[in-house]
A = this chain, B = another copy of it.
Amino acid sequence: MEGSSGAIFAQGKQSIKIPVPVYIRASASVVGTKEGEGPLGDLFDVVGVDDKFGCDTWEEAESTLQKEALQMAIGKAGLSREDIRFLFAGDLLGQCIASSFGLGGFGIPLVGMYGACSTCGLSLSMATIMIAGGMAQYTACVTSSHFASAEKEFRFPLAYGNQRPLSASWTVTGSGAFVVSSSKSDSDRALITGITIGKIMDFGLKDSMNMGACMAPAAADTILTHLRDFRTKPEDYDKIITGDLGYVGQKALWDMLRDQNMDISHVHMDCGIEIYDRSQDAHAGGSGCGCSAVTLSAYILKQLEEGVWKRVLFVPTGALLSKTSYNEGQSVPGIAHAVELVSCVA
């Protein structure tokens, strides 16, 4: 291959096999009350007693989630904010204001990202590339969502009291933050060994109350691409974990992959299904940038850290809509980014 910068780290066109060890050194999760009452409740670092987190507005509350999660992750890594060379962050709100108002005080150079609910995977990918490319020793990622700010942003203000169909998902109130490092320590949570950057997939679905179905084609495409690029099979992973497809999207994903002669049902897990109990009335499951981020920090990395799982494929999925595009009758395209995580336990 031509090119003056030497070898291209390729693994198929969309994927990069990370050529040097990159570690998730530490992480933190901060969630709201409903998430605290769910099946993963005991695993989160902080469960708020009030979903406003002491703030005047839902947006400020979401900014506070990001601030607390990042502060805690940096602290757990044994670092200070000055040690983090670049910060990758995003959220679901218009113009990503949860990040802009949550992270200014850190004084860390900021790369703003947007991938809807896939942003956790996207920001981890870029943070990893910075380190693998020799551009940083420590980077950090933080993403968030908040049920109340998201309902206001995408659907109806809570006070309107609208009915939600069973296909609707419940936006997770939570933020997950991660410190990514080029150097090994005694307490690394996992290795990041490969990434696949997703393409926009649009099957023409238009229902913002059924985002699982809208995102399933993107999840299917990214999973198929990753497995093809890395020449792996579903059985090579302890888990293939989507971000927030929920019950409806999970079924669509399984069906689409079966059409391609692939069955992932025995290894598939969805963060949106794990985070709430069916008794919690969250309908199709959890969603939002925070859903996959807090589940990764609190549960998935714990399983890898303890060696219960050796290798997982983490595939957060995003629905690329706004209330403007929805009101103008546009479809809801999806995108999904995959990150391969490997346990540091031999």
**Interfacial residues, chain A to chain B (CB-CB below 8 A):** 1-9, 13-14, 16, 19-22, 56-57, 59-60, 82, 85-86, 90, 92-97, 100-101, 103-104, 107-116, 119, 122, 125-126, 129-137, 152-153, 182-184, 196-202, 320-325, 328, 330, 333, 335
Interchain CB contact under 8 A, B96 and A197:
no
A114 and B112 contact, CB distance less than 8 A: yes
Interface contact B129-A133, CB-CB below 8 Å = yes
Could you say which of B119, B136, B196, B198 contacts A8, with CB atoms under 8 Å apart?
B136
Contact across chains for B135 and A3 when beta carbons are under 8 A apart: no
Are B114 and A95 within 8 A (Cβ)? yes
Known contacts A94-B94, A104-B333, A197-B110; decide if A182 and B5 are in contact (CB<8 Å): yes
Give the residue of B122, B320, B328 whose beta carbon is less than 8 angstroms from that of A100: B320
Instruction: List, sorted by A's number, 13 A–B pairs whose CB atoms are closer than 8 Å.
Output: A4-B183, A5-B131, A5-B132, A6-B20, A86-B197, A95-B325, A96-B320, A104-B200, A104-B202, A109-B197, A111-B115, A112-B122, A129-B133
Bound together, the chains give a CA A300 to CA B177 distance in angstroms of 39
Asked if A321 contacts B95 (CB within 8 A), the reply is yes
Q: How far is the CA of A289 from the CA of B109 in the complex (A)?
A: 19
**A94-B95, A100-B333 known; A109+B199 contact, CB < 8 A:** yes
Among all A-B residue pairs, the 10 with the closest Cβ atoms: A133-B133, A94-B94, A109-B197, A104-B200, A100-B320, A95-B322, A112-B114, A3-B182, A5-B20, A94-B322
Contacts of A94 in B (CB 8 A): 94-95, 153, 322-324
Using Cβ atoms and an 8 Å threshold, which residues of chain B touch A14?
85, 109
Q: Are A325 and B96 in contact (CB under 8 A)?
A: no
Residues on B with C-beta less than 8 A from A328 are 56-57, 59-60
Instruction: State the number of copies, please.
Output: 2
Q: Which residues of B contact A97 (CB under 8 A)?
A: 320-322, 324-325, 330
By the criterion CB–CB under 8 Å, are A2 and B137 in contact?
yes
| CB closest residue in chain B, given A16 | B135
Query: How far, in whole Å, are A200 and B201 apart by their CA atoms in the complex?
Result: 33
Min distance, Cβ A289 to any Cβ of chain B, angstroms:
11
Smallest beta-carbon distance A293→chain B, Å: 16
Report the bound CA distance from A111 to B200 in whole Å: 10
Q: How far is the CA of A28 from the CA of B132 in the complex (A)?
A: 31
Which partner residue on chain B sits nearest A321 by CB separation? B95
Are A101 and B9 interface neighbours, CB within 8 A?
no
A327 CA / B93 CA spacing, docked (Å): 14
Distance A176 CA – B63 CA, assembled complex (angstroms): 32
Residues of B within 8 A of A104 (CB): 199-202, 333
Nearest B residue to A57, CB-CB: B328
Docked-complex contact A59 and B324, CB < 8 angstroms? yes
> What residues on B are CB-neighbors of A133 within 8 Å?
9, 129-130, 132-135
The residue on B at minimum CB distance from A152 is B324
On chain B, the residues within 8 Å of A110 by CB distance are 197-200, 335
Nearest chain B CB to A228 CB, angstrom units:
14
Q: How far is the CB of A116 from chain B (nearest CB, A)?
A: 7
Residues of B within 8 A of A90 (CB): 114
Q: Of B57, B103, B137, B198, which contacts A109 at CB under 8 A?
A: B198
Question: Which residues does chain B contribute within 8 Å of A108, judged by CB atoms?
Answer: 199
